[in-house]
């Protein structure tokens, strides 16, 4: 029995060694395969695989919402498909009824209207949609690429909301009139990004005096944290506040210094705000605190063809212009001139380095404290006139401008006038901006372009909103 066990033991040892050798070979082969796969680039990130195999130099970094981009393209393709189907259906219908059509006398006016309604307008919409599709810009090197995109945008699915709240960079890559490098359209979501500032704004004793912190509130508004919450504290006023001047004096008289809180400005009195003072603290509105200079605007002839007179513009719609909005930067001079014509104008204003709102009100006019990123607080089809000057110029992003112009169109009544006053931009951008103004197909009453410098041009226009029956 002992002799018969020896061959079995030797066989068992032989099998054990054979398994060990085979296992080692498997490990060696596995390691070799892993090395080959790594050398071929199959074990690195999927973006790098594309670069390694296909030679792609730039790949969209992780975190970019490709689905949103796809939705934008699909939306435009759907519009094109719809337009194609409509035209093909119309052609087939005409082919079936060619005997009847041959007997009809279609006027050029009817043909023109059909082309405008059924072809040109849909193509306009598609064209604008294509121009507004943009990839997010990438910062950093390939290993540490980050998107210049607000993470709050990914909380929304509807593409139009995403487009609306995406911060709009200034077109000229400089700080704009608001002191910001981009504009944040607001639906209140941006307050999350400024929690510290918002908490500071809302920290007060109920029923006591508010802190003199209007500048903090304005910074929050400009950054898109708006509308701000109401506060239960008492607003401060000047300790030596005086009665405003009577209405027959206030329009063209410099307000009393004592009626303005000067703590947050470079200047401490109205005299300091003179255009001759290079350190006055504001720059956009030259001479707008000097009434003798302001009196000359919109009423005296100018050698520059883009300067329109109020009497000429009102003559386009005699007796029809009663109420309107002046969207710009200034102390209300346009509203004062229109008031002399029995027209009520509301003037938008922010206190950008000077007390613009206070001065407008002290002149007996209506200031509307609103930023560029807000929806106008007016109902549809209510304004007879919208006038814009001083701030809307070539720094503005095209998509942001599109939202603004559509909002202006919303509040402007049929037959109302849009007065674009001294809009300026670089020559190379003029076609883009002209396209934005003309997309609504308003009637042109006046249209003038004039050189501002060797690289920039002025554009002024008076356009009439067409009727749009329901």
* 392 closest CA partner among 450, 428, 437: 437
Where are the domains positioned within the chain?
Answer: 38-149, 163-222, 247-464
- Rounded distance, CA 270 to CA 253, Å? 11
- Rounded distance, CA 321 to CA 343, Å? 7
Q: Which CATH superfamily is domain 247-464 in?
A: Vaccinia Virus protein VP39 (3.40.50.150)
- What values do phi and psi take at 239, rounded to 5? -70, -20
Q: Block means of pLDDT (10 residues each) for the chain, length 470 residues?
A: 54 61 60 53 46 47 59 76 80 77 72 76 72 56 50 68 80 81 80 87 91 93 89 91 93 95 93 92 88 93 91 96 96 96 96 95 96 92 95 87 95 98 94 93 96 94 90
Please tell me the predicted confidence (pLDDT) of residue 393.
87
Residue 458 forms beta bridges with which residues?
424, 450
Please tell me the predicted confidence (pLDDT) of residue 91.
77
What is the secondary structure of 42-91 as a DSSP string? Answer: TTS-HHHHHHHHH--S--PPTT--HHHHHHHHHHHHHHHHHHHHHHHHHH
Please tell me the predicted confidence (pLDDT) of residue 289.
95
- 139 CB-near residues (< 8 Å, 6+ apart): 145, 146, 147, 148
- 108 CB-near residues (< 8 Å, 6+ apart): none
- Rounded distance, CA 68 to CA 158, Å? 9
Phi-psi region at 155: left, alpha or beta (left = phi > 0; alpha = psi -120 to 50): alpha
């Amino acid at each position: 029995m002992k002799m018969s066990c020896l061959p079995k033991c030797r066989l068992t040892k032989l099998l054990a060694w054979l398994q060990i050798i085979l296992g080692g070979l498997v490990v060696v082969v596995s390691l070799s395969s892993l090395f080959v796969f790594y050398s071929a680039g199959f074990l690195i990130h999927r973006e790098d695989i594309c670069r390694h195999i296909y030679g792609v130099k730039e790949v969209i970094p992780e975190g970019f919402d490709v689905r949103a981009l796809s939705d934008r393209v699909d939306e435009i393709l759907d519009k094109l498909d719809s337009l194609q189907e409509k035209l093909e259906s119309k052609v087939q219908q005409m082919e079936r009824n060619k005997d009847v059509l041959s007997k009809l006398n279609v006027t050029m006016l009817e043909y023109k209207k059909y082309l405008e309604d059924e072809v040109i307008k849909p193509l306009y919409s598609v064209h604008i949609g294509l121009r507004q599709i943009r990839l997010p810009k990438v910062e950093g090197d390939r290993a540490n690429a980050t998107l210049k995109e607000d993470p709050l945008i990914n909380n929304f699915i509807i593409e139009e909301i995403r487009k609306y709240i995406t911060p709009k960079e200034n077109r000229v890559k400089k700080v704009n009139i608001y002191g910001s490098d981009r504009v944040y359209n607001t639906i209140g979501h941006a307050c999350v990004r400024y929690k510290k500032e918002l908490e500071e704004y809302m920290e007060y004793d109920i029923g006591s005096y508010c802190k003199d912190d209007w500048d903090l509130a304005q910074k929050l508004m400009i950054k898109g944290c708006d509308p701000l919450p109401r506060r239960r504290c008492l607003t401060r006023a000047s300790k030596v506040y005086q009665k405003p001047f009577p209405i027959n004096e206030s329009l063209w008289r410099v307000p009393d210094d004592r009626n303005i809180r000067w703590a947050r400005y470079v200047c401490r009195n109205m005299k300091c705000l003179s255009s001759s003072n290079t350190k006055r603290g504001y720059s956009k509105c030259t001479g707008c605190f000097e009434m003798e200079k302001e009196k000359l605007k919109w009423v005296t002839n100018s050698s520059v063809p883009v300067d329109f007179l109020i009497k000429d513009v009102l003559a386009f719609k005699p007796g029809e212009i009663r109420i309107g909005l002046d969207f710009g930067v200034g102390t209300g001079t346009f509203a004062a001139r229109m008031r002399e014509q029995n027209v009520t104008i509301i003037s938008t204003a922010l206190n950008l380095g000077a007390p613009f709102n206070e001065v407008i009100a002290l002149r007996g006019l209506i200031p509307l404290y609103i930023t560029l990123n807000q929806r106008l607080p007016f109902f549809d089809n209510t304004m007879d006139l919208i006038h814009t000057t001083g701030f809307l110029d070539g720094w503005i992003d095209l998509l942001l401008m599109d939202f603004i112009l559509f909002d202006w169109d919303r509040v402007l009544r049929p037959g109302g006038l849009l007065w674009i006053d001294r809009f300026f931009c670089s020559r190379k951008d003029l076609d883009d901006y002209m396209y934005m103004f003309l997309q609504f197909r308003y009637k042109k009453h006046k249209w003038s372009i004039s050189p501002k410098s060797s690289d920039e041009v002025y554009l002024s226009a008076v356009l009439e909103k067409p009727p749009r029956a329901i």
